Structure 1
Amino acid sequence: MFIVLFRTIILYLIVVLSMRLMGKKQIGEMEPFELVIAIMISELASLPMQDTRISIIRGIIPILTLLFLQTIFAMLQLKSEKFRLLLSGKPNLLIDKGKLNLKELKNEKFNLNDLLEELRLQGYYNLSDIEYAILETSGKISVIPKTNTEPATKEDMKIQFTQEALPITLVLDGKVNTENLKMIHKNSKWLKDMMKKNNIHSAEKILIAMLDSKGKFFYQLKN
């Protein structure tokens, strides 16, 4: 039993490291060759876990080989446009100048119901509002709406606005994040003053406190 446990831990760590080295893409954003390698790695890792007669090295070596191949392919894609097209293909226009491209839909095995569903998920309910719909190499669809249907921006309407910033967590579960305080050029005294203004006597009572995207102090107590 302990041998199986040990083998599982080792293979788990190797698979996690391999996927981490492959990058931060989610499954739905992987290129075809990346998805194939991810599936093969998971299969290769599961075999030595289930069958102790298989040497753990026979599971590790193929995983490392696939990781090496993925790294080589990724480098070749960066350097060669032709290799990138060969391995990942190219984006396809499913809607071109407001018209459905039936040839591309047929080539990509993409039916109209699937296309309409994807468009609805992105907030487009009418085909007449869309100028271009592009099937990316990751399988996701990018939409370029017709100019006259695009929502007006604050800049278009000449409304004054200030750019929102990233929210910064200052206290989490009673613990003060001093690094984030330094990031916003504040200190513990400033934080204590903000707590005092909101009748908070101790940081330990705070579940979360942060500066939101508009620069306002937001907090919630544990109780």
Structure 2
Amino acid sequence: MEMYGEIILRTVFLYIFILIVFRMMGKREVGELSIMDLVVFILIAECVAFALEEVDKPIFQNILPIIILFVIQYINSLMTLKNKNVRDLIDGDPSLIVEKGVINQEEMKKQRYNLDDLFQQMREEGVPSIQSIDYAFLEPSGKLSIFLKNEDPLILPLVVDGYIVEKHLKLMKKERSWLLEKLKEAGYEKIDNVFYCCYENDKIHVQLKTTGNDRS
């Protein structure tokens, strides 16, 4: 009976402890988990399993790896929050799968993403044909984001966290010098101070890191 009581106490304690740990890790849907998130969650699940099986060991020995994983995840979240390059390296970057009704075969091979996957996700989104797609991006989570030709034009971020998104400029058929000139005309000299920037309706829209003000 004493062993069963220990198992019950450990289960209740670990349940509350894991809830607290996951809550402190931040809010993110299961389908939006990055590879790093998934690895951490799997390892935490293994640690909990060992904690429930090895009742003869002190509980702290079982939860210490969970605490270490939480610290790793917390440091990772701080790094990815402050640096887009680190965020792209760890979490990955969206891949352009369809552009103007044309499938990007090279990108599909690179992502090991086949036509059956593409057609399935198109059906799930109610998209009738490839030709009706303006742009389709395969997100790091595996979700396919589809923008149709008859919808409002796709507005791409050109600067994120002080970093110019070169591939978005390429999609717009614009050069880096064009963006720098537009920012200069709007009164923004330093890219490092720009939190977010996009180009919409022939206007540059900028939000700074410090003030959060939006100017056009």
What is the TM-score when the length of structure 1 is the normalising length? 0.64
Larger Rg, first or second structure (1 or 2): 1
Cα deviation, residue 78, structure 1: 1.1
Counterpart residue number, 2:20: 17
Cα deviation, residue 97, structure 1: 2.2
CA deviation vs aligned residue, 1:46-80 (integer Å, no higher than 9, x gap): 11102213331122111111111111111101111
CA contact 1:27–1:35 (8 Å) conserved in 2 = no
CA contact 2:51–2:63 (8 Å) conserved in 1 = no
Alignment of 1:83-102 (within 5 A): 83-102=86-105
CA contact 1:119–1:125 (8 Å) conserved in 2 = yes
Query: How many pairs were matched up?
Result: 149
Query: Aligned partner of 1:109: which letter?
Result: R
CA contact 1:15–1:42 (8 Å) conserved in 2 = no
CA contact 1:45–1:59 (8 Å) conserved in 2 = yes
Alignment of 1:57-76 (within 5 A): 57-76=60-79
Hey, what's the Cα distance between the residues in 1 that align with 2:107 and 2:10? Answer: 47
Hey, what's the Cα distance between the residues in 1 that align with 2:111 and 2:58? Answer: 42
Structure 1: any 5+ residue segments left out of the alignment? Answer: 152-223
Identity %: 34
Hey, what's the Cα distance between the residues in 2 that align with 1:100 and 1:54? Answer: 56
Counterpart residue number, 1:33: 36
Counterpart residue number, 1:119: 122
Counterpart residue number, 2:83: 80
Aligned residue for 1:75, secondary structure, equals: helix
Counterpart residue number, 1:56: 59
Counterpart residue number, 1:198: none
Structure 2: any 5+ residue segments left out of the alignment? Answer: 153-216
* Aligned residues: CA RMSD: 1.4
CA contact 1:98–1:131 (8 Å) conserved in 2 = yes
Counterpart residue number, 2:106: 103
Hey, what's the Cα distance between the residues in 1 that align with 2:24 and 2:125? Answer: 31
CA contact 1:95–1:134 (8 Å) conserved in 2 = yes
Spell out structure 1 runs of 4+ moving beyond 4 A. none
Cα deviation, residue 28, structure 1: 0.9
Query: Aligned partner of 2:91: which letter?
Result: S
Cα deviation, residue 22, structure 1: 1.5
What is the TM-score when the length of structure 2 is the normalising length? 0.66
Aligned residue for 1:24, secondary structure, equals: coil
Select between 19-28 and 74-83 the one with higher mean Cα deviation: 19-28
Query: Aligned partner of 1:118: which letter?
Result: Q
Cα deviation, residue 127, structure 1: 1.0
**2:148 paired residue among 145, 149, 155:** 145
Aligned residue for 1:105, secondary structure, equals: helix
CA contact 1:22–1:67 (8 Å) conserved in 2 = yes
CA deviation vs aligned residue, 1:4-51 (integer Å, no higher than 9, x gap): 111111111111111111222122111110111111111111111022
